[in-house]
């Protein structure tokens, strides 16, 4: 993920405010803060993963066709 530090902090803030992640101090490096999914965050991630896989399977033929066309274009280059 390409993101500046400030943007990452804002994203983590929003996720924490939504109850999807928690900040925890690192046990090995007191300067570091670890980000951990909450049970709600894990549940949402599982739901999103299922939706993602379903979409990939539904579009598998189109994806394969598109990859084939990209391969053909690469051969022409």
Q: What is the mean pLDDT of the chain?
A: 95
pLDDT recorded at residue 46: 98
Summarize pLDDT for 13-25 with one digit per residue, the tens.
999 999 999 999 9
User: If DSSP codes are grouped into helix, strand and coil, which group holds residue 33?
Assistant: strand
pLDDT recorded at residue 2: 81
Q: How far apart, in whole angstroms, are the C-alpha atoms of residue 37 and residue 24?
A: 11
50-77: average pLDDT: 94
Q: How far apart, in whole angstroms, are the C-alpha atoms of residue 76 and residue 41?
A: 46
pLDDT recorded at residue 9: 94
Angle at Cα 61 formed by Cα 59 and Cα 62, nearest 5°?
65
pTM: 0.72
């Amino acid at each position: 993920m390409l993101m500046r530090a400030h943007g990452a902090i804002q994203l983590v803030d929003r996720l924490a405010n939504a109850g999807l992640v928690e900040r925890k101090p690192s046990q090995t490096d007191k300067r570091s803060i670890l980000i951990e999914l909450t049970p709600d965050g894990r549940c949402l991630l599982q739901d999103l993963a299922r939706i993602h896989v379903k979409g990939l399977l539904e579009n598998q033929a189109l994806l394969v066709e598109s990859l084939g066309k990209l391969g053909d274009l690469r051969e022409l280059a």
